A and B are shown apart, each in its own frame.
Chain A
Amino acid sequence: MADLMTEHPDRFLAARMVRGDEAAFGEFFESHFPALFRFAMPRVGNDAAVAEDVVQAAMCRAMRKLGSYRGEAALLTWLCTFCRHEISAHFEREQRVPPMVDLLDDIPEVRAALESLGAAEPEAALRRSETSRLVQLVLDRLPGRYGDALEWKYIDGLSVAEIAERLSVGVKAAESTLTRARSAFRDAFTAVYGGRWSEAEV
């Protein structure tokens, strides 16, 4: 079980949920709902009510299929698949054309890189104007609360002790989380930025 927990955290989380672990459900929702909501928003014309509907439908559908999740893709990637279907269904029902949005994560190479996080190296460099969005996408794709921890540290300027309090862990554990979060960010961003993340024009 320890191996599954460390090597396949998403599979471990899903397995706990299938067993009816209430804490696992909370962890799942807190770590995935915001990212999925942000995934949906630009795809439904930034209409928050519609985003809420499609995300709710997608997550409910995912709950019904939870037993079939095998961990081939990250949980968020798996949820995004359901969300794409719900967005399409929404516009079909409304007999409307989806907004024409040119989203960075709809670029096949970027999507592949985001979904594999480290397994691919897209050839094209990304434009500076897209760097911000790319950073946010990567933060959303980091495991657990890593994205939140980095935001709290670098945007909110929280101390390690304050971050520990928000994560309900000790100071040492919070330091460790930040270290792993930075490492995960570095790896993920390198994967989608073609190995030149430190040269990004910041």
Chain B
Amino acid sequence: MMDETRNTNSDDAIAALVRLAGRRTPVPDNAALRVRNAVHDEWLQTIGRRRRTRWIGSAAAVAAAAGIVAVIRMTTSSPQPTPVTPRVAVAGGQTNGAVIYANDVYEVANGNTASLAWGNATLRLDGGTRVRIASPSELTIERGAVYVDSNEAGVLVRTPMGNVRDIGTQFEVRLTTDRMRVRVREGRVDLQRGATTHTAGPGVELDADARGGVTPHSIARTGAEWEWVLRAAPPIHLDGRTLSEVVASVTRDEGLKPVWLGETAQNAATMRLHGDVPLTPEEALDTALVASGLTARTDGDRLIIKRRK
């Protein structure tokens, strides 16, 4: 009873104090909105930068531990190999100039990634992947995942669970013990299983099981599921390239559409960049934007680029 009385008195006193003080100075709505937008932009940039820093740190650790050349272990099984492509780019900042030969087997250790220039396409290999390159347009996945970014139709990816043929596109094929999934980011692919062809367009995944079933799903064309593709990207040299070229390259890997806001940003897009240090795609984008006095943030599947305040 005593406590209740004390609490009631104390509540009355709180009420009296708050009334005495009166309402705190309100903040103008328009000021709050302006500041909120600016701080929100800064926050988005910060968390984006932190995510990128982790990726870069991870890649550097892998390179230091395993050595860049050891990222891909190549086994030549053909006694008289036939060159199928003139160059090989290895993720992590180096091009070793090696030639891919028919029936070469490429294997990437878990936790690593790799990128190859392959015919008219770019090929990314995720960690734990083993592939056999048959020709400039045909390979077989034995395990793991590949991502193909091709300029022309005709690439064929063979798997024990069906063959995937692209029609000028960006897509991933991932093989596990009892499933295969084909995810299309852009363009169109055909999955051939026996006599049946299943077609998938942008934002569609085909989930193939061991019993012959194929189920299509809608998927996001950007986001965490695609992050390994960017990690596996070859380094970018800024020197002599325009900002718009760098933006186009990185946004293509991220599945984003660049949007240039304002005349200043559009003018900056044609500026030539300098710098001979190989950079990861995200480092390259950050560096190019800062050098051009611009900033960028993602909004859904768009990369909004505008003048830095």
Q: Provide the bound-state CA to CA distance between A186 and B10, in Å.
A: 8
B46 CB contacts on chain A under 8 angstroms: 63-64, 66-67
A151 at interface, CB cutoff 8 A:
yes
* Binary contact readout B19-40 vs A (1 if CB under 8 angstroms, 0 otherwise): 1111111111001101110111
B17 at interface, CB cutoff 8 A:
yes
Known: A38-B24, A155-B22, A198-B10. A52 touches B42 (CB 8 A): no
CB-CB nearest in chain A for B48: A20
A198 CB contacts on chain B under 8 angstroms: 9-10, 13
Interface residues of A in 1-36 (CB under 8 A from B): 17-20, 25, 29, 33-34
Determine if A139 and B21 form an interchain contact, defined as CB atoms under 8 angstroms apart: yes
Determine if B28 and A48 form an interchain contact, defined as CB atoms under 8 angstroms apart: yes
* Binary contact readout A20-63 vs B (1 if CB under 8 angstroms, 0 otherwise): 10000100010001100110010000001000100110011001
Give min CB distance, B72 to chain A, whole Å: 33
Determine if A33 and B32 form an interchain contact, defined as CB atoms under 8 angstroms apart: yes
A202 at interface, CB cutoff 8 A:
yes
Q: Choose from B34, B40, B43, B50 the contact partner of A52 (Cβ within 8 Å).
A: B34
Q: Provide the bound-state CA to CA distance between A189 and B14, in Å.
A: 10
A153 CB contacts on chain B under 8 angstroms: 15, 18
Determine if B11 and A33 form an interchain contact, defined as CB atoms under 8 angstroms apart: no
Known: A66-B43, A182-B14. A55 touches B22 (CB 8 A): no
B32 CB contacts on chain A under 8 angstroms: 33-34, 37
Determine if B18 and A135 form an interchain contact, defined as CB atoms under 8 angstroms apart: yes
Q: Provide the bound-state CA to CA distance between A195 and B42, in Å.
A: 42
Determine if B34 and A56 form an interchain contact, defined as CB atoms under 8 angstroms apart: yes
A135 CB contacts on chain B under 8 angstroms: 17-18, 20-21
Interface residues of B in 38-84 (CB under 8 A from A): 38-40, 42-43, 46-47, 50-51
Interface size counted on chain A using CB atoms at 8 A: 42
CB-CB nearest in chain A for B40: A25
B16 at interface, CB cutoff 8 A:
yes
Shortest beta-carbon contacts, A-B, top 9: A135-B21, A60-B42, A154-B18, A202-B16, A63-B42, A132-B21, A59-B39, A56-B35, A154-B15
Sample of 16 further A-B pairs with CB below 8 A, known A64-B46, A151-B23: A17-B47, A34-B26, A52-B34, A55-B35, A56-B34, A56-B35, A56-B39, A60-B42, A66-B43, A131-B21, A135-B18, A135-B20, A139-B18, A154-B18, A185-B18, A198-B10
B-binding residues in A (CB < 8 A): 17-20, 25, 29, 33-34, 37-38, 41, 48, 52, 55-56, 59-60, 63-64, 66-67, 131-133, 135-136, 139-140, 147, 150-151, 153-155, 182, 185-186, 189, 197-198, 200, 202
**A-B contact list, 16 entries, CB within 8 Å:** A33-B32, A33-B35, A48-B31, A55-B35, A56-B35, A63-B42, A63-B43, A66-B46, A132-B20, A139-B21, A151-B23, A151-B24, A153-B15, A189-B17, A198-B13, A202-B16
A-binding residues in B (CB < 8 A): 9-11, 13-28, 31-32, 34-36, 38-40, 42-43, 46-47, 50-51
